[in-house]
Chain A
């Protein structure tokens, strides 16, 4: 079974129509080839083993096809057991995780070489996510984790496929849902709701609900309540450095250096370490940057399947510095 097939072809046709006038046959070929990469095999296992299969696939956080398949399987399971809200939440989280993974791949594809593939993948997953989010939204009782999961989904799905209006509207909705979740339980979604609420306040423009001071306050609260959240540490380091509070930013980076990685989240950990070493380099602490890089490299040696998130050159940009030969 290929879940992405139908939509995939639709997107390809649309892109080709759009581009044919300007970029000719070469662009068409590239688009067709890229969109084909959105296909993945995902057979439905027997019902009694489906959850175990999906859980196993979800663990492969470096593999877009396994993550996509995991999301599809969780969705299929949630649709069969319509009375189980926790299963729906699990399915929504798996879908969000997959979209987030593809979003990052798309962000690293600065010149859009694989754009049709990313678009097709996200559209396919977002169809499921929309169904799941609406069903969870119709539940009669508010649950902090469910609210936070819905918020996370609404923040994630539009990033690469929706217009600014939709993104702003969904960000606004996510902000409300996160706030509600945190009011019910400050540690909702393992503390992620609180820091993501802070991040939203910091990131949004001032005329679209942004409030950097409020964001920083929430991030500080989150750092106290969940000090071992690697994404929070990296993001708060970034915020302190942006706000020219380099000592506190540096402290967060040093804290990351001391952290033990969660074996279930090694891809996330190495991704955040990349950001941390870059931040350390930016503030001129090359020793700290080197130590973080060494820590990251050890993980790559032990787990060669992890993605390194390297850029490559395209359209006369990117790649190594041609004078020094160093990667960016």
Chain B
């Protein structure tokens, strides 16, 4: 149903009795409208017209834009016709494909490619669903939900990320299931997140397959209750191309899975095969990332290594793993390599795997299984907070600005201290400039216009930069 038909429904049927009939005629009790976007039109323009709960159908064609969704309940549906997809193409010049800060948003069947930052990112959004998309690089993150609760990331095909292709950041209650992830530095990563299910995915030909991490220096200080189950984690042996010093430069090639400092991590029923360095590494955070952060417990506690299939791992260990294996006096890599730190960890089928560093692990109970846990998402949608302008400003700064700017250093754009000095307290002027930037300095690239951000969000982020941001 298109927007006009929906309006027609809304206008004619006004009484309470007829509203019930209208709900049937209009396709649902919320009377959501459907907006169509055809090739040559703007998806963002449709988002701007949409009301909360509306469905936006995007038809095959190639769209060069950033789509920013800050309304609740928007259903962005790609329509695939005879094998032709709606393609959102950043042409390696735009930063982000789809940015979501509204709650209850669905992004489905979109082909997103060549965005320098994120393919699809949710920032502070709850109750989201990212389904059946194709996201290809080069990009930094293909699918990156951050600071959200109750999410579903399923049936996506992702590849070509310079960091984690599917990156669950500081989230709670997310299922990552039935995805294919390949040719990225990390296939799937859950960072400082709680209640996460990573199941039934096919993860292959990355530098590293899956990582569950507790990283220092982030606002969330724990990572707890993760199940990694029934995934096919195969041949993640690509060479690491991250720049020296970047945190992903530490991603070790040839590793199926890494558990770094996360607690209550269950590894159950996966097939982990053909990794040059190791099938699974379990370590304390500061073993690989020594940034001081005493607010978090860096040890991996209560890990359960339940029966998995380990095949042909450790045949040609590389880099740090090679060195560690040699230090341990082992002739080759192993299925499971642990640094030995942590409490109350256990392993099943100890005799079936090759291992180092698990002498202090107990035997898991023979009956232990994660099978009863079908989802980590809450039974009911979580409450959706309405963010204040201040929160919107901070969220947008983190999601959009920090891809190119830091507070006091040159990253790609100028440091924010310079911006603060230039604009003083004039947030309106900065907000206007964000929408229509001009090339000011020969030693910096021109900033892409951020005019997809609504005026209130631009003002919120400008206000945050000038009034609150500090070091």
Residues of A within 8 A of B343 (CB): 244
The reply to whether A316 and B402 form a contact with Cβ atoms under 8 Å apart is yes
The reply to whether A26 and B218 form a contact with Cβ atoms under 8 Å apart is no
The reply to whether the CB of B287 lies closer than 8 angstroms to some CB of chain A is yes
Residues of A within 8 A of B426 (CB): none
Q: Bound state CA distance, A25 and B408, in angstroms?
A: 21
The reply to whether the CB of A48 lies closer than 8 angstroms to some CB of chain B is no
Chain A interface: which size bin? 35 or more
The reply to whether A322 and B244 form a contact with Cβ atoms under 8 Å apart is no
The reply to whether A316 and B324 form a contact with Cβ atoms under 8 Å apart is no
The reply to whether the CB of B328 lies closer than 8 angstroms to some CB of chain A is yes
The reply to whether the CB of B323 lies closer than 8 angstroms to some CB of chain A is yes
Q: Bound state CA distance, A312 and B218, in angstroms?
A: 10
The reply to whether B244 and A113 form a contact with Cβ atoms under 8 Å apart is no
The reply to whether A113 and B216 form a contact with Cβ atoms under 8 Å apart is no
Q: How far is the CB of B401 from chain A (nearest CB, A)?
A: 8
The reply to whether the CB of A279 lies closer than 8 angstroms to some CB of chain B is yes
Q: Which residue from chain B places its CB closest to the CB of A280 in the assembled complex?
A: B294
The reply to whether A275 and B407 form a contact with Cβ atoms under 8 Å apart is no
Q: Bound state CA distance, A148 and B296, in angstroms?
A: 31
- A269-328 residues at the B interface, CB under 8 angstroms: 274-276, 278-279, 281-282, 309-326, 328
The reply to whether the CB of B102 lies closer than 8 angstroms to some CB of chain A is no
Q: Mark B382-394, 1 if CB is under 8 A from A, else 0.
A: 0000000011001
The reply to whether B327 and A208 form a contact with Cβ atoms under 8 Å apart is yes
The reply to whether B287 and A205 form a contact with Cβ atoms under 8 Å apart is yes
A110 touching B402 in the complex, CB below 8 Å, given contacts A115-B243, A278-B294, A322-B124? no
Chain B interface: which size bin? 35 or more
The reply to whether the CB of A114 lies closer than 8 angstroms to some CB of chain B is yes
The reply to whether A206 and B339 form a contact with Cβ atoms under 8 Å apart is yes
The reply to whether A311 and B217 form a contact with Cβ atoms under 8 Å apart is yes
The reply to whether B340 and A207 form a contact with Cβ atoms under 8 Å apart is yes
A168 touching B394 in the complex, CB below 8 Å, given contacts A206-B340, A316-B146? no
Q: How far is the CB of A172 from chain B (nearest CB, A)?
A: 8
Q: Which residue from chain B places its CB closest to the CB of A209 in the assembled complex?
A: B327
Q: Which residue from chain B places its CB closest to the CB of A103 in the assembled complex?
A: B290
Q: Bound state CA distance, A81 and B323, in angstroms?
A: 39
Residues of A within 8 A of B445 (CB): 25-26
The reply to whether the CB of A2 lies closer than 8 angstroms to some CB of chain B is no
The reply to whether A316 and B412 form a contact with Cβ atoms under 8 Å apart is no
The reply to whether A282 and B221 form a contact with Cβ atoms under 8 Å apart is yes
The reply to whether B320 and A317 form a contact with Cβ atoms under 8 Å apart is no
Q: Interface on chain A toward B: helix, strand, loop, or mixed SS?
A: helix
Residues of A within 8 A of B244 (CB): 15, 18, 112, 115-116, 119
A110 touching B219 in the complex, CB below 8 Å, given contacts A278-B293, A317-B169, A325-B394? no
Residue in B117, B243, B249, B328 whose CB lies within 8 Å of A23: B243
Q: Which residue from chain B places its CB closest to the CB of A234 in the assembled complex?
A: B294
The reply to whether B221 and A163 form a contact with Cβ atoms under 8 Å apart is no
The reply to whether the CB of B291 lies closer than 8 angstroms to some CB of chain A is yes
The reply to whether the CB of B398 lies closer than 8 angstroms to some CB of chain A is yes
Q: How far is the CB of B100 from chain A (nearest CB, A)?
A: 14
The reply to whether the CB of B247 lies closer than 8 angstroms to some CB of chain A is yes
The reply to whether the CB of A238 lies closer than 8 angstroms to some CB of chain B is yes
Residues of A within 8 A of B290 (CB): 107, 159
The reply to whether A207 and B327 form a contact with Cβ atoms under 8 Å apart is yes
Q: Mark A148-168, 1 if CB is under 8 A from B, else 0.
A: 000000000001000111001
Q: Bound state CA distance, A287 and B128, in angstroms?
A: 38
The reply to whether B117 and A316 form a contact with Cβ atoms under 8 Å apart is yes
Residue in B124, B295, B320, B443 whose CB lies within 8 Å of A163: B320
The reply to whether the CB of B299 lies closer than 8 angstroms to some CB of chain A is yes
- A75-112 residues at the B interface, CB under 8 angstroms: 104, 106-112
Q: Bound state CA distance, A276 and B294, in angstroms?
A: 8
The reply to whether the CB of B246 lies closer than 8 angstroms to some CB of chain A is yes
A22 touching B241 in the complex, CB below 8 Å, given contacts A112-B247, A317-B218, A325-B468? yes
The reply to whether B219 and A164 form a contact with Cβ atoms under 8 Å apart is no
Q: Which residue from chain A places its CB closest to the CB of B293 in the assembled complex?
A: A278
A315 touching B403 in the complex, CB below 8 Å, given contacts A26-B412, A159-B290, A328-B217? yes
- Could you list 6 further interchain pairs (A-B, Cβ under 8 angstroms) beyond the known A26-B445, A325-B390? A107-B292, A112-B244, A116-B245, A207-B328, A316-B144, A322-B147
A-B contact pairs, 9 of them (CB 8 A): A26-B412, A113-B245, A115-B244, A116-B245, A206-B340, A238-B294, A309-B292, A322-B123, A322-B147
List the 8 closest A-B pairs by CB distance, nearest first. Answer: A115-B245, A112-B245, A321-B219, A278-B294, A207-B328, A322-B394, A165-B323, A206-B340
